[in-house]
Structure 1
C-alpha cells in the first residue's frame, strides 16, 4: 500500500486558505458559488467557489466542502486556475494569494505598493501555522474531559478564523514564537525591574495601590528569591514581559533611566507564566492577577501597545462595577462574570510623560490553583480542526452525547445553554444598562461542567464602551466617575458594534463549528438564536435598538479585516471610528430560516 506524505506546510496551506478566503468573501462581492459537476443522484449537492482575476484573464475555482450562511465556509485544496483556450492548472495557495494581492479589481489601485508587506504577513502566518503543527501536533482541548483555563488558552493554534494573516507576528522571530506564544505550551519567568517612585505612573481603583499589588504579586510567588524583594525595597517593582524587556533595553528613554540609576534590572525570576490566546496577556496558576503587557509587535491588524486612556477606562469600569451597577449585574446574571482590570503601572520618560511601551495592567484571575475550575476560551472551542470537519466544540458535544445518535439533540441544547450563560447577559447589559462589551471569541471564556456551559467570563474591560443615552443613569449610579473618558456611542452605533462582536464574531463561530461537524443545521441554530433575541425583546428593556437591528436589518456589519490588513492600517492608532472599517454581510437572523 502506497502512503501519501502530507507535510505540515501542506496542512497549513489548507488552514490558511480557509481564513484567507472567508475574510476575502466577506468584503469582495465578485465571487460566486456554483453547483459542482456531479453525476445524477450522487450524494448531496456540492459547490464550487469561483474568483475572477481580470488582470490575469482567468478564473480560480476551489471546492466548497461546507457552504455557510454565517460566513464559515470550508474549502478543499487545490485551487485551480482556468483560462479560455488553455487547460486548467493547479494553483498553489501562495501563488493565489499573490494573484489576489496584485489584482486591482479586488484590492484597488494601491496593489503594487501594498502587496509586498501584505504577502510577507500572509506567508509568515502560514509558516507559523506549519511550525506549530510540526512542533506541537497534539496540542488541543482535551476530548476526554473538560479542559482547564490554562489548557484551553494554549489550544488555539491557528488564530483568527476570518483574517488573511491570522498568525502573522511582525517583529517576532520563529524562536520568539516557540518561546512566548501560547500554542507551544511553554512557560517562562517574568523579568523584574524596579524604579524610583517618581519614575512610575500608576493607577488603581482598589484600596491597594498598583505598586502594592505588584509587590504582593512578587512576594506571593514561591519561586522568587527573597533577596530580590530586599533589593527593591523602597522602589516600585515592575513585572515585565521578558521579550518586551529585551526590546526596551534598546529604547533611548529606557536607557536614560537605567544610566541615571532610576531603573534597575533584577533579571528573570519566579515561577513560570504562560501566554493566553491574546499573546500579550499572561497567566500563572499561583497568581492573584493576570498581567496584560504592552508588546512592541504587530499581531494581525494592530501594534499591541496599550494606551493610557485604555488603562483609565479599565479602572473606571472596575469602579462602576464595584457599586450599584455591579450589584445589579450579579443579581440578574449570577453565571456571568466580568474580569476587572483595576490597576496599571508604567514608566515615565525623562520628560515625565508615560511611556506606553512599558505599560502593564492587572486583570482578575478567577482560575487560580491546581484545581482550576474547567473553562475554555470560545475561540479555542470553535477552532476548526485541520481536517476541516471537527472542532473542540464538536468533540465536546459528541462526548456529552456518548455517541452520534443523540448528538443532534445535544448540539441544540448546548447552543441554548451557551446563549443563556453568555449571550443573553451581554445583550441585556447593553440594552438595559448601557454598557457595551467587545465580546469577540477571544474575550469570552466559557465555564464548563461535564461539557455543558455553566458560566461565562468576559475579559478586556479596557475596550468597554457606553451607550450615550444611558449616561444620566450611569452618572447617578456612580457619581464622580468620568464616563466621558470611555468609548461613547449612540444607541444605533452601539447596536452595530454589538452585532459584530457578539453575534457575527462569536455566536456565528459557534453556529459554524456545530454545523461544519454535521451536528445540526445552521438554519436550526439560527432559529434558536432568533427566538432568544425575541424573548429578550419581549421584556421591559430600556433600549431595544440592538435587538431590532438583529431581527430586522437586511445587512449586518462586520470588521473588514482583509482590507484593513492589506492597507497596513494599525487599528490601535489609525482607527477613530470603528464603524468606518465595517463591511456589510447578509443577516441570516432577519428572515426566519426554514428547518433543514
Structure 2
C-alpha cells in the first residue's frame, strides 16, 4: 500500500471536522457539563470553554451527533470552530492553576496534548485517502471491522498512533498482509492452553514450534531479536502462505487459513493504551477462558443467541520479559466458528459509526460509516441491512445484548466489557439481530470476593479482578453510554430516540423482574445518572487507561 500525502482537500476537511466534533463532545461531557456550562436552545447545544461561547447543531441525545460546523462567538458573530482553536481553549481551561478544577490532571500543563490531537487529525486524513485505493473485504464481518474510520466519538485523539509505518497495517485503510512465521526452539518455548491451530500455519524444523508474528511487531523488536536469531533459539521461516486481515483493534488479525483471530503485542500507543500482551495477560486469557466456559453455557441457556469468543491458548518464547511479551500471541476463536449457519456477524461499532464529522462531502465518507440509502420500497436501512421496522429491530438488539451482560455481573460476578468494539451482532437473512457475540478477555474481569483466585500468581489475580463498584461502573458505562446510546442515535438518525428508550426500558424491566428487581437495576431503571468514561481527562493527565475516572451523564431511561 502506498503511503499517501495529506494533499486531498476533501480528506483533510473531513478529518478536521471529525476532530473538532470528537474534541467538542469531550468538552461537553468532561469540561463544560460538570461546571454547569452547558445549555440547549433547539437545535443547538451551547457551552463555554475557557470563557469562550461555543455552539453546535445537535441530535441523537447523549450521543451528541453534530450537523454543520461547530462555531465560536467572536465579537458577537458566530465563526467556524477549528480544531487548533478548540485545543487552545482546552489547554487554557485545564491548564489553569487556580485549584478549583474537578478533574484529575487539572491545574497542570500538558505539552503533548495539542500534538496528539493534530497527529490524530493527520492520521485520519491519511486513512480517508488511503481506503479509497483498496476495496473493502468481501467478507461482511471483516468489512465491518475495517469501517471504524473516525474512531471513538468521545476521545480527544481517536486516531493517535505511536510508531512508524502503521499505514501498511491499518484496518481503516483496508490493509491485509502475510504474517511472519518464526520457529521457536522447544527448550525456550512458552505456551499454555490449546495452541494447536498455530501449527497449521506452516512447517517448523524438527525441535522447533511455529510462532506467527505481526510484521510491524518484528520491525519494532528488530534489535532485541538479533541475538536469538543469530544463535538459533529463533529461526525466521518467512511469510505465511495467506494474507491475514487486521480487525478494528489494529493488533488483532483474522487468519483465514486456520479460521482464528490472533492477538499480537505491538507495544505502541493507540488512543489511550500501549497495546501489548503483558505476561500476566497471556496467562490470564487462558485462565479466564477456562472459568468462563460454564458461565457462558448458563448465559446461552437463559438467553438464546448469546455467544462468546474463547481465547484458549497463547504461545511465545521464553527469552526474557520483553520478548516473552513482545512475541506473545493469543489465539482467539473466530465469530464464524460460533455463529450458527445463516447468521452474519457484524461489528456493533460499524452499525453505530454514522457520520461523526458534520458537513462532510457524502462521496468522501466511507460507505459503512454513513446511513445507507433507502432500501427498495422506501424502508430505512442501517449499515446496508434493511430495517423495515426500526422499533422491532431495536427491541431485538437490546434483548440480545443487555440481559446477558447484566446477568453475567449480577448472577455470576463477571464483568464483561460490552463496548462497541467488543460486541458482534449476528443478523439473520432479514437483518434482524438474533445473536450477540462477546469478545476480548483483556477487558473482562471477575468481581473480587466472588471467585477463588488463591491458586493464581498475585499479579495475574490482580489483573483479573475489579471490586464490585468498579465492575458495575464499567458494565453500565460500556453497555449504556458507549454502546446502546450510540446504536440508538444511529437508528433514529436526526429524529428522536425517546420511543427507542421506552422500548429499552421495557426490555430491562422484564429482565429485572425475572431476577427479583436487584437494587442496581432498580436504580438504573429509575433514571439514576450514568457513569461516562473521562477519556479527555485521562489523556490530559497522561495516566494509564485502567485509571480513567468517570463523569456522570443523564440517563436516557429517565425521560423515555
Tell me, yes or no, whether TM beats 0.5: yes
Q: Does residue 504 of the first structure (1) align with residue 481 of the second (2)?
A: yes
The one of 32, 39, 43 aligned to 1:33: 39
Contact 1:147-1:375 within 8 A present in 2 as well: no
- Give the greater-gyration-radius structure (CA): 1
Q: 2:54 aligns to what?
A: 61
In the superposition, the TM-score normalised over structure 1's length comes to 0.80
- The SS at the match of 1:135 is helix
The one of 450, 454, 458 aligned to 2:434: 454
Distance 1:345 1:468 in 2: 28
Q: 1:526 aligns to what?
A: 501
How far did 1:348 drift? Answer: 2.1
Q: 1:72 aligns to what?
A: 64
Q: 1:442 aligns to what?
A: 421
How far did 1:365 drift? Answer: 1.3
Q: Does residue 124 of the first structure (1) align with residue 95 of the second (2)?
A: no
How far did 1:117 drift? Answer: 1.4
Distance 1:400 1:486 in 2: 50
How far did 1:111 drift? Answer: 7.9
How far did 1:416 drift? Answer: 0.3
The gaps in structure 2 that reach 5 residues or longer are 1-7, 100-104
Distance 1:6 1:163 in 2: 24
Distance 1:25 1:73 in 2: 12
The one of 429, 433, 447 aligned to 1:467: 447
* Shift in CA distance, 538/346, structure 1 to aligned 2, threshold 3 Å: same
Q: 1:288 aligns to what?
A: 259
Q: 1:551 aligns to what?
A: 525
Contact 1:244-1:295 within 8 A present in 2 as well: yes
Q: 2:153 aligns to what?
A: 161
Contact 1:27-1:562 within 8 A present in 2 as well: yes
Distance 1:496 1:506 in 2: 14
* Shift in CA distance, 484/168, structure 1 to aligned 2, threshold 3 Å: closer
In the superposition, the TM-score normalised over structure 2's length comes to 0.85
Contact 1:492-1:545 within 8 A present in 2 as well: no
How far did 1:551 drift? Answer: 1.9
- The SS at the match of 2:17 is helix
Q: 1:214 aligns to what?
A: 198
Q: CA deviation digits over 1:120-173, x for unaligned, max 9? A: 11111111221222232498999xxx9621111111111111101011111144
Which stretch has the larger CA shift, 236-245 or 5-14? 5-14
Q: CA deviation digits over 1:32-77, x for unaligned, max 9? A: 2342xxxxxxxxx4224232424xxxx24233232x4324331422
Map 1:57-456 → 2, pairs under 5 A: 59-66=52-59, 68-83=60-75, 89-104=79-94, 114-137=109-132, 148-173=140-165, 176-177=166-167, 179-204=168-193, 206=194, 210=195, 212-216=196-200, 218-219=201-202, 229=203, 232-251=205-224, 254-322=225-293, 324-350=294-320, 355-367=324-336, 373-385=343-355, 388=358, 395=371, 398-399=374-375, 402-403=378-379, 410-449=389-428, 450-456=430-436
Say how many residue pairs are matched: 531
Distance 2:342 2:313 in 1: 24
How far did 1:281 drift? Answer: 0.3
Contact 1:287-1:368 within 8 A present in 2 as well: no
The one of 465, 488, 497 aligned to 2:465: 488
Contact 1:313-1:463 within 8 A present in 2 as well: no
Contact 1:26-1:71 within 8 A present in 2 as well: no
Q: 1:39 aligns to what?
A: none
Contact 1:194-1:264 within 8 A present in 2 as well: yes
How far did 1:20 drift? Answer: 1.2
* Shift in CA distance, 75/103, structure 1 to aligned 2, threshold 3 Å: farther
Q: 2:5 aligns to what?
A: none
Contact 1:434-1:466 within 8 A present in 2 as well: yes
The gaps in structure 1 that reach 5 residues or longer are 36-44, 220-228
Distance 1:428 1:140 in 2: 40
Q: 2:549 aligns to what?
A: 581
Which stretch has the larger CA shift, 335-344 or 426-435? 426-435
* Shift in CA distance, 138/428, structure 1 to aligned 2, threshold 3 Å: farther
Q: CA deviation digits over 1:14-38, x for unaligned, max 9? A: 2122211112211113432342xxx
Q: CA deviation digits over 1:431-453, x for unaligned, max 9? A: 22222111100000111122211
How far did 1:95 drift? Answer: 2.5
How far did 1:248 drift? Answer: 0.7
How far did 1:562 drift? Answer: 0.6
